[in-house]
Amino acid sequence: MKRLLEFWQDNNGKLSNTRLGAFLIVLTFIADWWSNILIHSQFDPSWSIVGLVTSVIGLKVLQSKNEKRRD
Phi-psi region of 40 (alpha: psi -120 to 50; beta: other; left: phi over 0): left
Find all residues with CB under 8 Å of 67, minimum gap 6, and list them.
Answer: 10, 11
Distance CA 11, CA 34 (A): 33
The predicted pLDDT at position 71 comes to: 61
7-66 tens-digit pLDDT: 777 777 777 777 788 888 888 888 888 888 888 887 777 787 788 888 888 887 887 788
Instruction: Kindly calculate the radius of gyration of the chain based on its CA atoms and give it in whole angstroms.
Output: 15
Q: Give the DSSP H or E segment for 26.
A: helix 17-38
| pLDDT confidence of residue 51 | 85
